[in-house]
Amino acid sequence: MAARQGLVKIAQRIVDYPWVEQKQESLPPVSGTALHQAVLGTHLKIVEILLERRPELVERIDSNGNNALHYAAQKNNRRVVEMVLNKRTELAYKPNKERQSPLHVAAHYGSTEAIKALLRECPDVAEMVDSSGRNALHVSVASGKADALRCLLRGVRPAELLNRVDRNGNTPLHLAAKMSRVKAALLLLGDHRVDICFRDRDGQTARSYVEMNVETKLRTGDQLDAYEMHLLKQLKQQESKRCRKQQLPPISGRRRALNTKDFDSVVDAYFLAATLIATVTFAATFTMPGGYDQNRGIPLHGRSAAFKIFVLSNTVAMCSSVVVIFLLIWARQEPVRLRLHNLMWTQTLTIIACLAMLVSLMTAVYVTVAPIAPWLADAVIAIGACSPALFFFISWLGR
């Protein structure tokens, strides 16, 4: 009780008084010894007193087989871990009833300071596995403790530990992929020692499991996580670079069937885009670049080639967007086959309208700016011409 409450003077008086050693009980106490309680309460002074005056307590375990170092690893107290290790270093290698070492416990609770202390004093403890065949890396992934995993990756040296399989045949990366531990998977992916080409008992890589998770969410209508999509992209890129000579599961190319809800969302997006284009191009018709001759009512730059290109491109953008609007209105009332046919043409015409509006912008700026600032007009044309190339480049990066 004194150790649990941190009553240093009372604890000191008790240990100073001569103890009568009683017969050891057949079963360990559920809550452990006074040393366990002092460690749980992070009462350093009492821990120091008990280790000095009652050193036999350091060997005692609770009903689950946890020694004092297991408790220190749970509480993430580096000083207590170091004190216990200095007294009995071999405690780092003693598992509890679930075959968990103190490093397993630290990984489960995300105790980064305890992990550093344990690996510094006993680096080979990272090789220990629990009753499921998992090492500390597996445990940190399963518990979702990314900081603990980052600490383990920095402290663990043998590369085979990063690719060791548990009893179910999962490496830490496979486990992260199956459990959708995206942050942990990205950390593992960033370590060159991790073998992303490894196939489990079912012949699957981590990439194929992430792909299955994404397809399941698409099929059930669940919201996709942007980080999970980023992970899938990174896994595909790494596989294409590092696994060229190995047989891997094929990358799925299946797409979700377009249901009514999806169709309505796509139609609304195209309808909004087409309406905006039609509005802008219609307004541009009455505000000709360069203005009008006030006496005759004709455009001042009507004879220039750039102005003629502006008129043509503006007309193409306007008419294409109007056709898109009518196609979408008609598509809502037709059978599925005709809907998809109209949607396909809608996509094509929307692209044409956007490109034509881009040309209209460039020529309008050129007509009005070129006479006074030719370099500025040329810069606008260059920027506008690069826009489609930028789109295709970004799309290519996403493949």
Q: What is the DSSP string of 91-158?
A: GGG---TT---HHHHHHHHT-HHHHHHHHHH-GGGGG---TTS--HHHHHHHTT-HHHHHHHHHH---
CA torsion, ordered 175, 153, 149, 244, to nearest 10 deg: -30
- Per-residue tens of pLDDT for the chain, all 399 residues: 888 888 888 888 888 887 666 555 555 676 788 888 898 888 888 888 888 888 888 888 988 999 999 999 999 989 999 999 999 999 999 999 999 999 999 999 999 999 999 999 999 999 999 999 999 999 999 999 999 999 999 999 888 999 999 999 999 999 999 999 999 999 999 999 999 999 988 888 999 999 888 888 877 777 777 788 888 888 988 888 888 767 677 666 544 444 555 667 777 888 888 899 888 888 887 777 766 666 666 766 667 788 888 889 889 999 999 998 888 887 666 655 556 677 778 888 888 988 988 888 888 888 888 778 888 888 888 888 888 888 777 766 654
Q: Is 315 exposed, middle or buried (0-12, 13-18, 19+ CB in 10 A)?
A: middle
Burial 20-47 (b: 16+ CB within 10 A, else e): eeeeeeeebeeebbbbbbbbbbbbbebb
The pTM is what?
0.62
Token pair for 314: 């503006």
Four-residue CA torsion sign, 146, 152, 158, 164: negative
Element housing 82 (H / E)? helix 78-87
**Distance from CA of residue 366 to its chain's centroid?**
45
Residue 277: other Cβ atoms inside 10 A: 22
DSSP 254: -
Token pair for 181: 């531990």
Residue-level pLDDT at 155: 92
**Lookup result for tokens 């003693």:** 94
Cα(270)–Cα(342) distance, integer angstroms: 12
Cα(298)–Cα(134) distance, integer angstroms: 82
Domains and their CATH numbers in the chain = 2-18+29-193 (1.25.40.20), 261-398 (no CATH)
Residue-level pLDDT at 176: 94
Cα(212)–Cα(180) distance, integer angstroms: 11
Best CA proximity match to 283, nearest among 364, 344, 211:
364
Ramachandran region, residue 198 (left: φ > 0; alpha: ψ -120 to 50; beta: rest): beta
Instruction: Output phi, psi for 246, to 5 deg.
Output: -115, 150
Residue-level pLDDT at 257: 45
Residue-level pLDDT at 311: 85
